[in-house]
Amino acid sequence: MQDVNAPLMSRGMKAVLASQFLSAFADNALLFAILAQLKAEFYPEWSHPVLQMVFVFTYIILAPFVGQVADRFSKGRVMLFSNLFKFAGALGICLGLNPFLCYGLVGIGAASYSPAKYGILGELTSGDNLVKANGVMEASTIAAILIGSVVGGILSDIHLMLALGTCAVLYALAVIANIYIPRLAAARPGKGWHFKLLLIDFWNACRTLWSNQESRFSLVGTSMFWGAGVTLRFLLVAWVPVALGLQDNATPTYLNAAVAIGIVVGAGLAAKFITLKTVSRCIPAGIVIGVMVVLLALQTNIFPSYVILAVLGIFGGLFVVPLNALLQEKGKETVGAGNAIAVQNLGENSAMLIMLGLYSLAMKVGLSVVSVGIGFGTVFAVAIAGLWIWDRTRKKS
């Protein structure tokens, strides 16, 4: 059994971080490469978020099962097979298969990967180090998003096949990194695999976490954050040509990189200044995120846009990292870390599906991207303010 008192940067943690970096790098480069492919093949603009909706839909469909898989097998091996699915999807796109179907296959791998990658943190460390481990994981992930997004955009401007092939190679390297993760004991081995029982177990996990005030607070907050985050990514792709007059594939990735840099800083600040006992300090940061989106939508120059997005990222890191740690701690105490992350994924991806659907609808009916940005930021800020009021009210009751 793994020693939970081992140093934060143990061999197992390094292998997890390497796998996560490579896999997340490929995830983000692949998204921008496929978007460039859709643009080159003249798919309608409203279909672009549909690509992500296919990806998100796999998370929702698999939510009742992937947590069970993560808890009933060694999480390192679950991560390995998940990256194999991603590799197969990326390879299929390189071979000219339907990009929506292949990206759905990548989504299956990502859905299976997520509970394992976060759940394993609670098996490699514990206590206050868990917040630090989450900070390091988020920093590694955002660094991968930063580099992967930029590289995906740049390579797509050079040659589409170069971008797509690079993603396939990165997934293969992530599989190799997974081999070096220690084969930890399964968290909840020995249960059957009856379909009905899995659904019942997942429903019970959902009910347990949503009935607990602290885990419910975390689930609502992270769902809103990631739903907004994925929508902002597509908003930037449509906003850049309209507001800044730039038509290349790289500029939206540079702007996403500014967000990523900010989140790395915010994740570090969260690990330093926020503990499991002071999680509510993160809520005002969420309101600032919405305000920054409104300010961004009104910009016409590129330099202020970078500054605004970097600030948005800093507050994003401060907001989401403590909420993740809180849910993992509560999940570990009740339904298992893998199940907790699966429940979280259901909430987050349901929010993504709803927000992406509304965004796609807004673009299809002809609303200007600037108006969509202003409305989106305003609604998000008001929603987080409501979450803050709810949190303070429940603590007084």
pLDDT of 346 higher than 90: no
Look-up of token digits 């692949």: 30
For residue 108 the two structure tokens come to: 């299956």
- The maximal CA–CA distance of the chain, rounded, in angstroms, is 59
CA angle 257, 260, 263 (to 5 degrees): 155
Between 378 and 328, whose confidence is greater? 378
- Cα gap 41→114, rounded to integer Å: 31
pLDDT, mean of residues 277-281: 76
Task: Tell me the pLDDT band of 201, cut-offs 50, 70 and 90.
Answer: confident
> Tell me, what's the pLDDT at 186?
66
Distances (CA, A) of 260 to 21, 216, 263: 13, 26, 5
**Residue 26, SS3 per DSSP:** helix
In the prediction, which pLDDT does 83 show?
Answer: 94
CB-based contact 343:119 (threshold 8 Å): no
Confidence of residue 1 (pLDDT cuts 50, 70, 90): very low
User: Distances in Å between the alpha carbon of 249 and those of 150, 154, 157, 162, 369?
Assistant: 9, 7, 6, 14, 17
Q: What is the pLDDT of residues 69-113, one digit of tens each?
A: 777 777 878 889 999 999 999 999 999 899 999 999 999 999 888
In this predicted structure, which of 103-107, 113-117, 269-273, 274-278 has the lowest mean pLDDT?
274-278
Cα four-point dihedral sign 268, 272, 275, 278: negative
Q: Which of 297, 321, 316 is nearest to 372 (CA)?
A: 297
pTM of the model: 0.75
- CB of 343 closer than 8 Å to CB of 219: yes
pLDDT band of residue 4 (cuts 50, 70, 90) is: very low
Is the pLDDT confidence value at 127 over 50? yes
| Contact call for residues 234 and 52 (beta carbons, < 8 A) | yes
CB 29 within 8 A of CB 167: yes
Residue 6: helix, strand or coil by DSSP?
coil
pLDDT tens-digit readout, 247-261: 888 888 889 888 888
Q: Hey, what are 141's tokens?
A: 């992930």
Provide the pLDDT for residue 65.
Answer: 79
Local confidence band at 45 (pLDDT 50, 70, 90 cut-offs): confident
278, burial (CB in 10 Å: exposed 0-12, middle 13-18, buried 19+): exposed
pLDDT, residue 153, reads: 87
| Contact of 152 with 30, CB cutoff 8 Å | yes
Residue type, 230: V
Report the b/e string of 37-66 with b at 16+ CB within 10 A.
bbeeeebebbebbbbbbbbbbbbbbbbbbb
Q: Average pLDDT of 213-234?
A: 87
Length of the chain in residues, anyone? Answer: 397
Q: What are the structural domains of the chain? A: 11-185+195-396 (1.20.1250.20)
pLDDT at 212: 82
Can you list the alpha helix ranges (DSSP code H) found in the chain?
Answer: 11-40, 48-72, 75-94, 99-119, 121-124, 128-158, 160-178, 195-211, 213-239, 250-273, 283-297, 302-333, 337-364, 369-396
Cα gap 209→291, rounded to integer Å: 30
Question: Between vectors from CA 396 to CA 390 and to CA 347, what angle results, nearest 5°?
Answer: 30
Residue whose pair of structure tokens reads 């997890």 in the numeric block: 16
Enumerate residues 6+ apart whose C-beta is below 8 A from 342. 63, 64, 65, 66, 67, 68, 70, 114, 115, 202, 205
Distance from C-alpha of 246 to C-alpha of 366, rounded to nearest angstrom = 20
- Whether 92 and 170 have beta carbons less than 8 Å apart is answered as no
pLDDT at residue number 301: 93
Average pLDDT over residues 165-185: 88
List the one residue out of 210, 196, 259, 267 whose CA is nearest residue 232: 259
DSSP letters, 58-71, are HHHHHHHHHHHHHH
Q: What is the mean pLDDT of the chain?
A: 84
Q: For a pLDDT cut of 70, what percent of the chain falls above it?
A: 92
